Structure formats: structure tokens, C-alpha cells
RNA sequence: CGGAACGUAGCGCAGUCCGGUAGCGCACUUGAAUGGGGUUCAAGGGGUCGCGGGUUCAAAUCCCGCCGUUCCGACCA
């Protein structure tokens, strides 16, 4: 492709709205432009790379027997009401104003709709149906460029099986296909066990990429590969002690001491000797959650332990329930349910709030002073703690969810009455699985992992072009002639070539554009080298340059350096 | 939805406090020079100052309302 005739609007400065590197570079390199919050237009070069990602996905999905569909984005609202998901999605679901349609945020309902009456026998299964298509979600806060948009491209796949054993097979096929897809896209990723959340179903795994722009937090063990969403992650941490002798309970004046850090500094004690209290409202009743030192309550764990509706108490409620404000609350004389983290089990000689502002209590023995206390794993794993699997050190970081695979089960087939007859002639609901990949997230994550101060650094096979051919001074007849010849030869040799044939652009400008766009190899044709029948070849990633004779160019390009 | 900031040319910004002819850099157009890392000189084009209302002789600037964008949080399959 000739740059002089292409729409590749590169920018020296990026709009201030772009904050993360992938977003800034996508815009600076002329790959995409924002239309509105969370809505992006893909420009030719960006779309070219995006298509390469989609091609890889197609190949891997076809390889496991997937059949490509194209379902409508515009869906009758009625079908969504039948599965209760108009309510479940709430404001996230886009609704059409002048007809009872919704814009599909995913396609379980539509797959089930088409399966109904068409997949009628166990002999019709298994089926793997997939599509690569635009999805719509009315995100309250789009952010990080294409990482969280209101409109985005998703590969979604669905398995239809006669039983759980069949679902297991389909799930494993997708697990393998996903690994191949992300491997081929040259991403550094990892797989975490996750909770299936509002999708329903039994088992789910997320494919994640480490990134500060991520919206999930993950605990990861480099050594053994243990990876888990912090919502459910566990670790080995030092428990509070039980000393041989319990001191009596005593009150301490602690003016203006609120946080655990302040308490430790004031009393010259260690965090391990303190217990932090948080008040939650559980189905209308107060619950005191006691944590060791500065440990954070993991609200997902709390929710699954006690069930029902749980929310943190409001500041006004704290005073009413405990008689004190946050920072002075403790388990002694607390009138309601108390649950504590396992690390505090049976500890003594602890310091905690006195339920009286500006006072704390020392000498707390949980066995003696809070006999009804219940213990659970309630803490949020922190970086540096030990892996529960291998004892090595855990790292906690932000991550972007690239893909998610679910064993759905029969939730949708039952809601929509999608039944088949099994070997014995018995009617059963079809067993479904659902498998998603954020196509644009692959794109953004790749850039997050492959850039430098000059710009993007593409790797095959995602690079929009294999070679960026630069004619330095195209007004020079020898240079332009040589370039034209090389351009034709490279194309004939099967390369995709972006040819900077602009006549009116200085050398430095072309170099910077080439580095910004980031094709893996640059072939640079300038007067000096050309006088000796030579051109320069530059590796974008390493910056390494080689000057070769014209007739050795194709040979050199065959072995990457 | 809670907190904060911003909105002036395609992009980055100044001007707003203290009302009085709308500016700068990059990009763009024309011409010339240059031609291996955003080169130089000259001459140009481009703006309902987010929208609506109000105050005023006069509003980018002051007041009110709305919209949009971004960040932090909440939310999130």
C-alpha cells in the first residue's frame, strides 16, 4: 500500500482523553478514532490488524469444529424477558426507544431460540456455534480506549450438548482453542479460575493479561502458576498469636487515633496484635467483621459465607449500632453477630476499638471475651504473601479480562424450553456452554505489551504489514526508481508492504512515522547507500540495522534478525 | 450513581480571575531551499470560543440551566 494514497492520520500529540499507552498509540498511529465515549471507528490500518486477529480466531474456532454464524444485534425484547435478563442486565442493556427491541450484549437467548425445535435429538449434538460480531452494552463509565467500550467486537461461541459429559468436552476444546488463539497473537496471558457470577453455571475460567489498566485484580504465583481472581484467592499468611497468658481487658485513651497504623505508632505495638472492625448490614441486621491488623475484608468472600444481602454500614449507622465512629469500633460489648477472619482464631492480648470515640481496648482474648465469634476466610490476599499451593511468593496485580469460558448448563434452555429427546426417548433440556473473547481487547493488550517510546512494535502475525518500505528522497530519480522496483519485488515475494512514497516529507518525518506505526521490518532506501547498490534493513524491535546489497535483500529478509 | 476536572481551529494549549477587534505551537495550502531522525525561510487558509438563556452599550470572559469528554470511586458476565 502506498502511503501517499492512504488514510493513515498519524499525530505527534495525542488527545488528552487518551491515558493508557495502547489508547494513545492507537490514536497517534492512526489506527482508530473515537466517535463518542466508548465508541470507536476503526481506520484502515487498525482494521487490517483487527482482521488478522479475527482470522486467527476463526481458524482456531473452525479447528475445534465451530460453525460460524451471524446473529442479529437487534433483538426482540420479548426473548430477553423470557430469561429474566432484561431485569438482570438492567441499565447495561441498550433498549430501542421506538420499538420493543434491545441491542444484544451477548447471544445466549438467540442461540437458544434457533436451537429450539431444530436441535431435537441427541443425535443432533454436539454443536459448536460461534460468531464474531458487534456487541452493545450501556457501560456507565467507558474507559481505557477500546478496553471497555459501549460498542465492541466480540467472538462469542456456544456449545449445545446432550449432557454434562458432552459439555465438559466442549469446554475443554474451547480452553485449548483459546490458548492457541492467545499464543498465536503473541500475548503474555494467564488463566484464572473465576466465579461464574450473573451468567449462571458451574465452572468458569478467565483468560487474563497483566495490566494497570485492568479492571480485575488477580493473585498470581510465578513459580507454580496458581492464579486466581482476588475475589476468591487464598494465601498463606501469619496468624495472630495466642500467648500463654491472657492479660485482663483494659481501656486506653487514644485521642485522634483512627487507623491501625496510627494505633500501632501510638502504642508502639505491631499490626499482628491488632484487630480491625468493619460493620456490615446483613439482611437488615448489623454484623461486625473482625480482621487482623490492616487486612481488607473481601466482600465477595463475605457474601458467599453469610449469604443474603450484605452492604457496608453507613457512617450514621455506625454510631447508632456501636456508639462510636469508624476507627474506634471493636468486638468488646458488641451486641450483635461477630464474625472474624481465620487468622484471628483464638488469639489473645489483642488491641481493638472500644466502641467509644478516642478509646481502644487492650488485652482482648477472643476465646474469653467474644465466645460466640465465628471464623471464616474473609481476607483479601496481598502481594508478597505465600502461595497456598507451593509456598512461593504471590504477586497481586491488575489484569484485563481477554476471554471467559463458562459452563452454563440448562439455565437458558429451560427458560426458553429448548428440549431434545435422549437415547431413551426422554425429553431433556439442552446443556449449554458459552465462550467469549474481546477481540479489541486482544488488540489493545498486544499494544500494551509491545511498544516503546517511539511507538508500536508489531510482531507477526498481527502486524498490519510485514515491511515498511521508506524512500527517503523520492524526488531523487534513482531512489524512487529503486523503491518502485523493490516494492514490486517484495509484493511478488508475498510480503505485505507499506510503501512511504511521499515526495514532500522529510527523512526524519518518515522515520518517526515508521517507528510509530511499528511494522516489524523497515527497508530504507537512501541516496548514499544506493550509490553502492545497497539499501538498509532495520529491525523495529531491536533497532538493529543492516546494510545489504540490493540483490541480497530478499535473501536477508528470509532470515529474521 | 457519588467526588473532581475540563470543553477556545484537525491535535496540544494560552486568553476567563479583572468584560472591550480571538491568539500561540504542531498539522494544513502556495512558493523556494534542503534531502539519513518530526529541516529552513516566506506568504496564506481555517474558529457559531460545547449548547441554550440571562446581565450589559458590549460576553470566550460574569450569572443560571443543559450537554459532552476525562479521571477517582461505586458498578461490571
Domains with residue ranges and CATH for chain A: 42-233+396-447 (3.30.930.10), 250-376 (3.90.960.10), 467-557 (3.40.50.800)
Q: Which residue is nearest to nucleotide B27 (CA to C1')?
A: A11
pLDDT per position as a tens digit, A407-453: 999 999 999 999 999 999 999 999 999 999 999 999 999 999 999 99
pLDDT at A307: 77
pLDDT at A199: 47
pLDDT at A421: 97
Quickly tell me which residue has 497456598 as its cell: A388
Q: Å from A542 (CA) to B33 (C1')?
A: 36
pLDDT at A232: 82
pLDDT at A198: 45
Which residues from the 387-416 window of protein chain A have CB within 7 angstroms of nucleic acid chain B? 404
Q: Å from A3 (CA) to B49 (C1')?
A: 35
Nucleotide closest to residue A38 (CA–C1'): B69
Contact, A478 CB vs strand B, < 7 Å: no
Q: Å from A31 (CA) to B77 (C1')?
A: 28
ipTM score of the complex?
0.92
- In chain A, % helix, strand, coil (3-state, to 5) comes to 30, 30, 40
pLDDT at A14: 87
Nucleotide closest to residue A543 (CA–C1'): B37
pTM, entire model: 0.89
Distance CA A533, CA A479 (A): 11
pLDDT at A231: 83
> What's the CA angle centered on A228, arms A222 and A229, to 5 degrees?
130
pLDDT at A202: 61
Report how many helices (DSSP H) and strands (DSSP E) chain A contains, helices first: 16, 33
Contact, A190 CB vs strand B, < 7 Å: no
HEC-encoded secondary structure of A472-487 = CCCCCHHHHHHHHHHH
Contact, A140 CB vs strand B, < 7 Å: yes
Which residues from the 217-236 window of protein chain A have CB within 7 angstroms of nucleic acid chain B? none
- Strand B: which bases are under 7 Å from protein Cβ? 1-2, 11-13, 25-27, 34-39, 68-77
Residues of chain A with pLDDT under 70: 194-202
Contact, A106 CB vs strand B, < 7 Å: yes
Which residues from the 5-64 window of protein chain A have CB within 7 angstroms of nucleic acid chain B? 10-17, 19, 34, 36-38
Amino acid at each position: 500500500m502506498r502511503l501517499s494514497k492512504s488514510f493513515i492520520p498519524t499525530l505527534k500529540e495525542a488527545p488528552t482523553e487518551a491515558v493508557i499507552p495502547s489508547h494513545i498509540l492507537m490514536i497517534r498511529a492512526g489506527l482508530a478514532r473515537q466517535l463518542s465515549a466508548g465508541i470507536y471507528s476503526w481506520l484502515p490500518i487498525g482494521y487490517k490488524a483487527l482482521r488478522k486477529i479475527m482470522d486467527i480466531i476463526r481458524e482456531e474456532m473452525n479447528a475445534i469444529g465451530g460453525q460460524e454464524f451471524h446473529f442479529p444485534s437487534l433483538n426482540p425484547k420479548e426473548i430477553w424477558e423470557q430469561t429474566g435478563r432484561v431485569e438482570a442486565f438492567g441499565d447495561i442493556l441498550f433498549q430501542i426507544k421506538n420499538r420493543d427491541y434491545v441491542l444484544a450484549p451477548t447471544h445466549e437467548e438467540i442461540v437458544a431460540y434457533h436451537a429450539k425445535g431444530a436441535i431435537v435429538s441427541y443425535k443432533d449434538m454436539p454443536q459448536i456455534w460461534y460468531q464474531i460480531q458487534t456487541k452493545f452494552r450501556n457501560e456507565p463509565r467507558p474507559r481505557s480506549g477500546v478496553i471497555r467500550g459501549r460498542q465492541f467486537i466480540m467472538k462469542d461461541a456456544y456449545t449445545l450438548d446432550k449432557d454434562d459429559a458432552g459439555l465438559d468436552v466442549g469446554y475443554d476444546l474451547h480452553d485449548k482453542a483459546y490458548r492457541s488463539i492467545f499464543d498465536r497473537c503473541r500475548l503474555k496471558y494467564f488463566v484464572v479460575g473465576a466465579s461464574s457470577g450473573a451468567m449462571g453455571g458451574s465452572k468458569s475460567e478467565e483468560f487474563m493479561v497483566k495490566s494497570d489498566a485492568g479492571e480485575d485484580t488477580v493473585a498470581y504465583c510465578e513459580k507454580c502458576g496458581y492464579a486466581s481472581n482476588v475475589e476468591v484467592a487464598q494465601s498463606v499468611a501469619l496468624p495472630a498469636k495466642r500467648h500463654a497468658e491472657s492479660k485482663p481487658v483494659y481501656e486506653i485513651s487514644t485521642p485522634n487515633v483512627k487507623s491501625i497504623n496510627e494505633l500501632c505508632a501510638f502504642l508502639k505495638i505491631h499490626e499482628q496484635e491488632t484487630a480491625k472492625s468493619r460493620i456490615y448490614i446483613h439482611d437488615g441486621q448489623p454484623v461486625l467483621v473482625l480482621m487482623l491488623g490492616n487486612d481488607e475484608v473481601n466482600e465477595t468472600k463475605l457474601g458467599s459465607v453469610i449469604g443474603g444481602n450484605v452492604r457496608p454500614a453507613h457512617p450514621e449507622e455506625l454510631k447508632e449500632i456501636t456508639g462510636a465512629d469508624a476507627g474506634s469500633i471493636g468486638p468488646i460489648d458488641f451486641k450483635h453477630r461477630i464474625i472474624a477472619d481465620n487468622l484471628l482464631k483464638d488469639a489473645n492480648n489483642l488491641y481493638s476499638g472500644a466502641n467509644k470515640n478516642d478509646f481502644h481496648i487492650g488485652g482482648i482474648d477472643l476465646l474469653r471475651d467474644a465466645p460466640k465469634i465465628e471464623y471464616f476466610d474473609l481476607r483479601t490476599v496481598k502481594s508478597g504473601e505465600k502461595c497456598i499451593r507451593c509456598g512461593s511468593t504471590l504477586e497481586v496485580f491488575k489484569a484485563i479480562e481477554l476471554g471467559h469460558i463458562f459452563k452454563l448448563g440448562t439455565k437458558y434452555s429451560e427458560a426458553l424450553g429448548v428440549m431434545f429427546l435422549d437415547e431413551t426417548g426422554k425429553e431433556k433440556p439442552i446443556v449449554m456452554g458459552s465462550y467469549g473473547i474481546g477481540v479489541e481487547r486482544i488488540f489493545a493488550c498486544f499494544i500494551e505489551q509491545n511498544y516503546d517510546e517511539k511507538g508500536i512494535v508489531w510482531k507477526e502475525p498481527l502486524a498490519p504489514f510485514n515491511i515498511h518500505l521508506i524512500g527517503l528522497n523520492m524526488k531523487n530519480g534513482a531512489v524512487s526508481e529503486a523503491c518502485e522496483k523493490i516494492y514490486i519485488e517484495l509484493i511478488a515475494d508475498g510480503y505485505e508492504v507499506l510503501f512511504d512514497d511521499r515526495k514532500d516529507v522529510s527523512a526524519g518525518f518518515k522515520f518517526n512515522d515508521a517507528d510509530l506505526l511499528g511494522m516489524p521490518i523497515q527497508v530504507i532506501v537512501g541516496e548514499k547507500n544506493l550509490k553502492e547498490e545497497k539499501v538498509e534493513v532495520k529491525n523495529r524491535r531491536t533497532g538493529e540495522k543492516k546494510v545489504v546489497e540490493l540483490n541480497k535483500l530478499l535473501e536477508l529478509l528470509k532470515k529474521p534478525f
